[in-house]
Amino acid sequence: MKKIVVAGAGGFIGGHLTKALKAMGHQVRAVDIKPLTKWYQIIPGVENFVLDLKMKENCIQALNGYEEVFNLAADMGGMGFIETHKADCMLSVLINTHLLMAARGLGIQRYFYASSACVYNGDKQTDPNNPGLKESDAYPALAEDGYGWEKLFSERMCRHFKEDYGLVTRVARFHNVYGPFGTYDGGREKAPAAICRKVIGNELHNQKEITIWGDGNQTRSFMYIDDCVKGILAIMYSNIEEPINLGSSEMVSINQLVDYVEEIAGHKLIREYDLGAPKGVRGRNSENTLIKQYLGWEPSITLKDGLLKTYDWIKEEMIKNTGKDPKKVVFND
């Protein structure tokens, strides 16, 4: 049994990771800035702290007496959020900086940092037929403005704390994680959840229109949450010292993503395209040669399988949150 802190445990990925660590028999301290009523999951038997980890003294309090840290804490969301909240995203640098300082001072044995594919050079993501982003494609640096630059800088902080102070650090670059217990409305949701929400709303109201951000030809890969948690744990306890991709290599266009959700719903829609909406890079995919070399594994849950579970969960939540009357379900574009 290890004594492990999960920073950002009140969020989507953090909640799933906390649940997995507790099920493995570890003593877990869960930390998040949100009030407990806003946490995505509350895991029984876990010690929960509500703390703003941008403050150094709170990081010391969170880590004191523990051995390992998973840092998933950040102010972030989907493209609609990160393109309009660049300063807020940049301020997350304080979380990682102060957690690293606390980890060094308190003798933490191992430290995981959740980075993002947004660190990659934008000039390498202009073609929808992206062959896959290799880890070396982060340099020369031209990261996503705001959020991506913060992630890239924080990766460097982990590297130099390892080099200068001997802190064992591991860094994974997440590629679009989705699944149950994730955000599906409010502006911070990722594309799979947003599309599910829109299709479910149309299905329940017997409506036929859906608005898609951009022309729908932009491409991405999407990793189901179970693969993400498995990858986090494998990378944390590996000998991988450099930042590494953690994402599916199954690339689809946003139009294909809508096709898949329509197929699940059995509900065909008329598509309208908002070319002025936030849409990010034209093509992004995870090149998984390195993770396969290190671990003999890569994320393998298909998008169709993961979407089915995600769709069912979001539909249940949408109905539950409106008094179980589908006619009262509120949805937006």
- Contact 28/47 with Cβ under 8 angstroms? yes
Report the DSSP pairing between strands 110-116 and 168-174.
parallel
Catalytic residue (choose from 66, 113, 147, 311): 147
Give the bridge partners for 244, in sequence order.
172
How many Cα neighbours within 13 Å face the side chain of 243? 28
Give the whole-angstrom CA distance, residue 223 versus residue 232: 12
Q: Which residue in 272, 261, 92 sits closest to 191, CA to CA?
A: 261
Instruction: Tell me if residue 273 is catalytic.
Output: no
Give the whole-angstrom CA distance, residue 264 versus residue 258: 10
Residues forming the active site: 147
